[in-house]
Structure 1
Amino acid sequence: MNDGAVHIAVLSPVERSLVSFISRPWFDRVATPAVARLFFPLSAAWAAASVSGGDPDRFRANLDDGQSRRAVPAGLLRLTAQAGERYAQALSRWEEGLFGDIDANPGDQPARLERVRLRHARAFMGMRAGFLPGHLERSFPAARFAVEDEEVVSLRHRPRLSDPDGGFQPDLDTPVMESRAVRAGTTEFRWLRFDAPMGGKDLHPAEARVIERVGSTAKATVLFLHGIGMETEQWGEHPAIANWVLDQGFRVIEPHGPWHTRRALPGRYGGEPILGRGVGGLLDYSWTHVREVGRLIAWARARDVAAGGEPGPVLLVGTSLGALTAMQLLSWAGSWPVQARPDSALLIAPAASLVDVAFRGSLTGQMGVPDRLKAAGWTEDTVSHWARLLDAADAPCIAPNRICVALGTMDEITPFTSGRDLVRRWDIPAGNWWTREQGHFSVGLGIAAQPDPLQQAVAVTLEAVGQ
């Protein structure tokens, strides 16, 4: 076990001090209820308003709470819908300019289209704040719940119980469409798109953002798997950690999970169906996204070969829901083609058990998920039956000494004891896992200030091929 701190140049001293202050347990005591009781409810109202056309009756029907609300004026609904329309128009031009026929848009340069898209995306996303008075008057629901019962879930997922390994196989023949490049200084951005694997529900095509340094050949690739509701690209964010990894000679791939970013469903905020559909939502997400990540790993290696080199190593980094996704891939990818498997992984705030997260996690508890599951007929025993498709396998598909884990001893969302069980089950060596006196959010934020888990994961990745 590691508990020291090795400060590498991810952040400036001032930035590191600020992140160190935030990444303490007090932050989680504020952040958890803020997400469960403020951000998600405001997001639910914002998403319902975006498809309301400014009509209060449609807004209430989309939100499905049946409440009349004096503090949600029709003008706010109309402004939100209009902001969504402006974003949709900017996105359409972005799509044409980056993925369409360049001759049809000779005056639209990719960098300009991206700036316009980001400006309208931020403005649209920021309309959430306008719904705060309505939420304070009478709380909005945290999600539009439509929890599927076990019979409905069984129709989609029963065959996988007899062959969980084979059920996760990625289709490596799926064509991957690559956008034109957008250059910003020494950094180049591209986007990938391909058909989502069959078997999910209401799925838009898979997407990912690729970030590379201009004029250099990547010697390795890192995939960052995000948490639920995290849509950093929509806010125009480019984390400092990604910059540091780029400086180590890596290519960065940021996949967009199902129902997030441009894959979000109309009238739903990013990731909402995962919570709203209960066990079925998480099973659909996992079954889909694990295979999409396998396809992206294979794409990265093919890109290395196309550039005239050998397939470089691939590091998988996941936080929260992203850590669960990475854990599931490591659990079931043993029979995959070698080009679709990662060489190493860093799991930040993982959990070994779905039951622990669903019934004992503080975020799901504050959102009322356990009560919704029980109302739909689910028990801990029936959830455990399906959790075989989501929980950690007895052993990972790569050597344990290539896996790093960061845990917060005060994590109550993906409970610390469940993450510790994963470390023990997979026999992660002492030098590759860290426990910190932090909670769920602060342990993730703290990686930027005390990045030794990331540094070790990068070192392990390059050592895997002797670099």
Structure 2
Amino acid sequence: MSKRKRDGLPPPVDIPLLGGRPGQFLLRPWFDRVTIRWVTRWFFPISRGWAAARAADGSRERFVEELGMSDLPWGIVDRLLQAAQRAETRYQDTTRRWEDLFFAAHAPGPGELAQIEEERERAAQTLMAVRAYVFPLRLARKLPPVSYDVTSPQDVESAHGHRLRNVKAAFPVPEQPNIRQSHPVEGGYGDVSWLEWPSPMGDTARARLYTPRERKDPPTLIYLHGIGMEMEMWRAQSDPVNALARDAGIRVVRPEAAWHGRRMLPGYHGGEPALAFAPKGYIDMVQGWLVEIMHLIRWARQTSRGPVAIGGLSLGALTAQLVGTAARIWPRELQPEVMFLVVTSGDMLEVCFEGALPKGLGLLDALWAGGWTHEELARWRGLLEPQGDPVMPAERVVMLLGSHDSVTPYSGGLALARRWGVPGDSLFVVNRGHFSTPLGLHQDKRPVQRMAALLNDASGV
């Protein structure tokens, strides 16, 4: 057995369908039309049943309460509850042992770390795969995609109204918490470790870190995921962004948003509270993530003299661009030098009212029933859309847009790029939709390479 296999993590899993001719056929607009139907009609409802089963802890009565349905095929439900309880027990036990080893006072052997991370990945993936037991239930019953409990205009005003009235209060600079870093383990893209620190959301914020092995003071990319994306809960897959640690000497930080992955709220699936408690839930999550990103930018400055880039995909891009503009009034150390946005929009009302995801999930009907109007929602654009120009020059902004994007509609992203004056060599537009556009980075890495070149240029390399 080689040293790498004994002491390090296995290489990330390649996805053959995304490369070559299969990818050229697959990653077209038809793929996005099929995917959005699958996500809204199947994945979200199945995830709702899965979340209810996790919270039920084997109890039929609790499952009925969580799901809000009582006329159910009990044989299917019982098998689901048993599978969920077994997987949950294994996952929680493995996660505790993982935490004890990776954050131990004295570093365990690399073989121990690699083994427990592989065990954690398998346990997490087994738990996520319990969704398969919900499939027969979804065939038998129409499950809700989201457990809506929309917040009222008065509640949002009480929580966030002061932020609208004072630009400095919109995204205030927080105190820096103590961020602890786990012991590293060797991975396919570099040394892999994790960061943990107290979150303003009341839980523990987490981020996975890919560190290049042979570069002192590397530049740092903080790259944010989309809603419902939970990389920590699945086997590590090949990723052109994470590969920058190996290929471009860039330290890559992948934070986990509140209510996702290891931060899921009991009774909810990944990202669901942002929609369930809309619009306050979404505003809360974005505000909390911005604070955590400020924590990470300052940590990056404290641990390396290299420059910092902020970026993201979908929800992550919508959040990163708020950082890029809000940072104009932040201290210099919190101002990133480069920004990388994949499938984004500068028009959140268009995303809300015209986007395929809220339409397919019934969000608009829930908002109207909760007392919201178009005018009321429009009041909150200042907390959800980038205001003014970004802190970095337009030449250091890279954008990748899909001309068939129906989730963050292409028109809003293109208008933002034009408003900011993003130059042609940093604006990439492909004939794809919301899901196929980022997956296309497996075939055409030019947007990632452009961002990496700008970040390394900012390093003086």
Please give the TM-score of this superposition, normalised by the length of structure 2: 0.92
1:451 is matched by which residue type in structure 2? K
Of 430, 449, 457, the match for 1:463: 457
Match of 2:117 in 1: 114
Q: CA deviation at 1:447?
A: 1.9
Cα distance in 2 for partners of 1:141, 1:215 equals 50
1:52 is matched by which residue type in structure 2? A
The 5 Å alignment of 1:235-384 reads 235-246=234-245, 247-304=247-304, 311-384=305-378
Q: Deviations over 1:444-465 (max 9, x none)?
A: 1112212221111111112223
Q: CA deviation at 1:268?
A: 1.1
What RMSD over aligned residues (CA atoms) do the two structures have, in Å?
2.2
Q: How many residues align?
A: 447
The alignment status of 1:436 with 2:425, answered yes or no, reads no
The 5 Å alignment of 1:20-419 reads 20-70=24-74, 72-102=76-106, 109-184=112-187, 187-197=190-200, 200=201, 203-217=202-216, 219-246=218-245, 247-304=247-304, 311-419=305-413
Q: Which moved more, 1:415-424 or 1:250-259?
A: 415-424
Q: Deviations over 1:202-258 (max 9, x none)?
A: x42111010123354352111221000000121022433135311211111100011
Q: Which moved more, 1:366-375 or 1:159-168?
A: 159-168
Structure number with the bigger relative contact order (C-alpha 8 A, sep ≥ 6) is 1
Provide closer, same or farther for how the CA distance between residues 244 and 92 of structure 1 changes in structure 2, counting only shifts above 3 A.
closer
5+ residue gaps in structure 2?
A: 1-13
Q: Deviations over 1:400-419 (max 9, x none)?
A: 11101111111111111111
Q: CA deviation at 1:318?
A: 0.7
1:299 is matched by which residue type in structure 2? W
Identity over aligned residues, as a percent?
33
2:219 is matched by which residue type in structure 1? A
Secondary structure, counterpart of 1:312 in structure 2: coil
Secondary structure, counterpart of 1:109 in structure 2: helix
Q: Deviations over 1:157-210 (max 9, x none)?
A: 11111124443134252110111122236732111111112xx4xx42111010
Cα distance in 1 for partners of 2:326, 2:238 equals 30
Equivalent residues of 1:294, 1:341 under 8 A apart: no
Secondary structure, counterpart of 1:351 in structure 2: coil
Equivalent residues of 2:18, 2:439 under 8 A apart: no
Equivalent residues of 1:402, 1:460 under 8 A apart: yes
Q: Deviations over 1:247-294 (max 9, x none)?
A: 211111100011111111112111110111111111001111012112
Cα distance in 2 for partners of 1:237, 1:218 equals 26
1:76 is matched by which residue type in structure 2? L
Please give the TM-score of this superposition, normalised by the length of structure 1: 0.91
Secondary structure, counterpart of 1:350 in structure 2: coil
2:252 is matched by which residue type in structure 1? V
2:124 is matched by which residue type in structure 1? A
Q: Deviations over 1:42-77 (max 9, x none)?
A: 111111101212222211211224442356331221
Cα distance in 2 for partners of 1:14, 1:54 equals 39
Cα distance in 2 for partners of 1:356, 1:408 equals 16
Provide closer, same or farther for how the CA distance between residues 403 and 159 of structure 1 changes in structure 2, counting only shifts above 3 A.
same
